[in-house]
């Protein structure tokens, strides 16, 4: 079965450093998302991306965050200057959504980001 692939599985960085989290969505999917889950808290929406532009973003997704689809397969989340509170599991997701919003979300296994 096709799956969403995320790399790396773990990332440790120093506060103030830039990090790029990478995702390869399912190949025929059109909508891409980033969510995050801080330890012990709910899964939170960060951003949705369609047709090479952001469709919607949350209050969390401030100027320190950016997303990009640099080629036909990768989807990246960049955090420019990491803060301690950015430590979380970051999930990439994708959905097919050709004709309807009612398509299942497929999630990757996540990247555990630890900011020291």
Partner 1 sequence: KQEVTQIPAALSVPEGENLVLNCSFTDSAIYNLQWFRQDPGKGLTSLLLIQSSQREQTSGRLNASLDKSSGRSTLYIAASQPGDSATYLCAVTNTNAGKSTFGDGTTLTVKP
* Whole-number Å distance between alpha carbons of 63 and 3: 30
* Residue 90 in the binding site for partner 1 (CB under 8 A): no
Binding window for partner 1 (CB under 8 A); candidates: 17-25, 37-45, 65-73, 74-82: 37-45
Give the residue with the Cβ less far from partner 1, 45 or 65.
45
* Residue 43 in the binding site for partner 1 (CB under 8 A): yes
Give the residue with the Cβ less far from partner 1, 1 or 14.
1
- For 77, other C-beta atoms within 10 Å of its C-beta total 24
* Residue 22 in the binding site for partner 1 (CB under 8 A): no
Q: How far is the CB of 112 from partner 1 (least distance, A)?
A: 8
* Whole-number Å distance between alpha carbons of 50 and 78: 17
Helix (H, G, I), strand (E, B) or coil at 63: coil
* Residue 50 in the binding site for partner 1 (CB under 8 A): yes
Q: How far is the CB of 108 from partner 1 (least distance, A)?
A: 5
* Residue 95 in the binding site for partner 1 (CB under 8 A): yes
Q: How far is the CB of 105 from partner 1 (least distance, A)?
A: 6
Contact 37, 43 (CB under 8 A): yes
Cα distances (angstroms) measured from residue 52 to each of 3, 20, 76, 88, 97: 21, 18, 12, 26, 15
* Residue 25 in the binding site for partner 1 (CB under 8 A): no
């Amino acid at each position: 079965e096709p799956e969403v692939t995320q790399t790396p599985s773990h990332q440790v960085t120093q506060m103030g450093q830039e990090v790029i989290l990478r995702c390869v969505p399912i190949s025929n999917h059109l909508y891409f998302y980033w969510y995050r889950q801080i330890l012990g808290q709910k899964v939170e929406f960060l951003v949705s991306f369609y047709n090479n532009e952001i469709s919607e973003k949350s209050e969390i997704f401030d100027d320190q965050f950016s997303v990009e689809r640099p080629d036909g397969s990768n989807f990246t989340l960049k955090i420019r200057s990491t803060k301690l509170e950015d430590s979380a599991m970051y999930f990439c997701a994708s959905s097919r959504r050709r004709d309807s919003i009612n398509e299942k979300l497929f999630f990757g296994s996540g990247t555990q980001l630890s900011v020291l």
